[in-house]
Amino acid sequence: MENREIQQFLPHRYPFLLVDRILTIEPGKKATGVKNLTGNEWFFQGHSYYPPSLLLESLAQVGGVVLATKAREENPQTQFTGLFAGISDFQFHRFPSQGEEIILQVEVSQSLSSVYRFSAQAFVGDEKIAGGQILLSFFLKKPSGRSEGPSAGEPG
């Protein structure tokens, strides 16, 4: 899935669209995404590496695509809202820096009503740089509600 298509599923835009491409996806289950780091991104003005908080956001956005594709598969017109609900036990081994390609892997491990728990991992090449669990809450908007243009996504 290319970036243009990702933008149909996520409301995030520059400068906060933190996934470039989806390599493999099983709607509602799991996905692998890519985020490339290049020197002229805005956060490199302050950091020499990809900030860990933004790495979490990248993983959450891939998770958002997993849930959004599933919802659209069931009903192409559906509107939804996703929220970043939390994180459990997320460990960092190293922070990626400029010129690296991060592979983002997420897989739904548990869903409780509208909260989805993902096991998420980030790799550079074969090296695992971070991993843990992230929680997203995701709900469909009622069709009678105001149409707010594109779906709102994860604050976070």
Partner 1 sequence: MRRFGHPFPALLIDRVEMLEREKEIKTVKWITANEIYLSGHFPGEPIMPGVLTLEGLIQGALILLEESLNRGKIRVFLQKVGRLRFKRAVLPGERVDFLVSLVSKENPLWKFKGKAQVGGEVAAEADLTFKVDVREVGFEL
Contacts with partner 1 by CB under 8 A lie at: 11-17, 42-43, 45-49, 51-54, 56-57, 60, 83-92, 95, 132, 148-149, 152-156
- CB of 22 or CB of 134, closer to partner 1: 134
- CB of 45 or CB of 77, closer to partner 1: 45
Find the helix or strand (DSSP H, E) in which 54 lies.
Answer: helix 52-74
- CB of 3 or CB of 24, closer to partner 1: 3
Which of helix, strand or coil describes residue 74?
helix
User: What's the closest the beta carbon of residue 82 comes to partner 1, in angstroms?
Assistant: 11
Strand 21-26, strand 101-112: pairing: unpaired
Does 93 participate in catalysis according to the annotation?
no
User: What's the closest the beta carbon of residue 96 comes to partner 1, in angstroms?
Assistant: 12
Both structure tokens of 28: 């509602």
- CB of 15 or CB of 145, closer to partner 1: 15
Query: Rounded distance, CA 58 to CA 18, Å?
Result: 5
Active-site residue, selected from the candidate residues 21, 47, 72, 141: 47
User: What's the closest the beta carbon of residue 71 comes to partner 1, in angstroms?
Assistant: 18
User: What's the closest the beta carbon of residue 16 comes to partner 1, in angstroms?
Assistant: 4
The string of DSSP letters for 102-153 reads EEEEEEEEEEETTEEEEEEEEEETTEEEEEEEEEEEEEEPPTTSPP-SSPB-
Both structure tokens of 114: 């509208």
Which residues are known to be catalytic?
47
